[in-house]
Amino acid sequence: MKKIKIGDLEKIREKARRTSSLRQNKARARITVHMGTCGIAAGARKILTALLDEVGQNNLDDVIVTTSGCAGLCSREPMATVEIEDEPPVKYVDLTNEKIKEILNEHIIKGNIVKEYALAIGSERTH
Amino acid sequence: MEDLSLHILDIVENSINAGATKIEIMLAEDINQNILTLKIKDNGKGMDKETVKKALDPFYTTKTVRRIGLGLSMLAQAAKEAEGNMDIKSKKGKGTTIIAKFVHNHIDRKPFGNMAETIINLIATKGLDIDIIYKHCKNENCFIFDSIEIKKELQDIAINNPEVLSFLKKEIEKGLKEIRKEGG
Ligand SMILES: Nc1ncnc2c1ncn2[C@@H]1O[C@H](COP(=O)(O)OP(=O)(O)O)[C@@H](O)[C@H]1O
Ligand SMILES: [Mg+2]
């Protein structure tokens, strides 16, 4: 039976411990990728992967990436909802890897809603 | 769905919605018998007999946002296309197990797809609240990923730490490659 080697895991643990001192920060923003059946069939997994890579690489430890079920709008999947403290949620539709990276940089980091890709502003929920 | 790893992500989503805290994913490739078995077991809220029956109906869903539930029927269809079948075992209050069987070398059997990506996406987004155990065997050669064990070893470091995630992803890819090679 092959398993993940404990020794290697220890090394990674120590490495992570050195780099993650700031990881206790309060979350400033949350991005929810909709991973219901329609979303997955439309390619939501690669959107999530691109987003996780980007958030990891930029050390955005105050950004939470999560998933939820179908948003009820199959034809506009893949979709994601961005929530920033004290601001109404924004739902983005017809996502691609490039669009989600742009949304991360423009909306999450710089604070400018990417209107071009947004569905509706306000009164939206993540579930 | 293009491949099994996407179906698995979708079926696990059901388990998460059912409040599961532990989800086991098992893929067993029996080359001699030419059977591939996929099993997904959760400790979520389960279903009563009536709901199990209805769950196989593509027009059934307990969700309110839309009228049709597709995930389970799509997996059942994928199994059928590869001359296999799907079965749901569930107990209200205990949990649910989904079992799908496929003829391994059937021309219409969907490929595995990227299982490492499926597992890592689950761990990255839900790994703090939910434990995932993924076991993949080709004949007697098995690879096992157990988030409970991994969390123990990580001590105070979170399993969704980016450093940890990229390590785990590589390890899953490596483990799967090894069993594929040895399994012949
Ligand atoms: N693991 C599970 N635990 C409890 N109930 C489940 C589980 N999987 C499926 N169900 C029930 O079966 C229904 C149909 O599931 P599915 O075919 O995936 O469609 P959907 O998730 O879109 O509703 C769900 O709405 C839910 O009521
Ligand atoms: Mg479902």
More confident residue, A6 or B22: B22
Q: What value does the mean pLDDT take over residues B41-56?
A: 92
Q: Domain limits at B116?
A: 4-183
Percentage above 90 pLDDT, chain B: 85
What pLDDT, in 10s, does the model give residues B114-154?
999 999 999 999 999 999 999 999 999 999 999 999 999 99
ipTM given for this complex: 0.91
Q: How far is CA B149 from the centre of its chain?
A: 19
What is the count of structural domains for chain B? Answer: 1
The pLDDT of residue B94 is above 60: yes
Distance CA(B99)–CA(B51), nearest Å, equals: 17
How many angstroms separate the Cα of B121 from the Cα of each of A80, B124, B129, B160? 15, 5, 14, 10
Interface of A with B in 27-66 (CB under 8 A): 33, 35-38, 40-41, 45-46, 48-49, 52, 55-57, 59, 65-66
- Counting Cα atoms < 13 Å in the Cβ hemisphere of B153 gives 18
Task: Say yes or no for a CB contact (<8 Å) between B153 and A6.
Answer: yes
CATH 3.30.479.10 for domain A27-121 = no
Tokens of B90: 């569930």
Percentage above 90 pLDDT, chain A: 64
**Is-above-0.80 flag for pTM?**
yes
Domain-wise residue ranges, chain A? 27-121
pLDDT category at B184 given cuts 50, 70, 90 is very low
CA distance A86 to chain B (A): 23
> Among B46, B27, B45, which residue's Cα sits nearest to residue B35?
B27
pLDDT at A19: 74
Task: Say yes or no for a CB contact (<8 Å) between A2 and B175.
Answer: yes
Give, rounded to a whole angstrom, the gap between the first and last alpha carbons of chain A.
40
B11 class by beta-carbon count within 10 Å (0-12 exposed, 13-18 middle, 19+ buried): buried
Q: Which chain A residues are Cβ-neighbours of B126 within 8 angstroms?
A: 66-67
We report the CATH number of the domain holding residue B153 as 3.30.565.10
Give, rounded to a whole angstrom, the gap between the first and last alpha carbons of chain B.
27
Residues B72 and B63 sit within 8 Å (Cβ to Cβ): no
Q: Is the dihedral of CA B57, B62, B64, B69 positive or negative?
A: negative
Q: What value does the mean pLDDT take over residues A41-49?
A: 96
CA nearest B6 in A: which residue? A40
CA distance B176 to chain A (A): 9
pLDDT at B59: 67
More confident residue, A97 or B69: A97
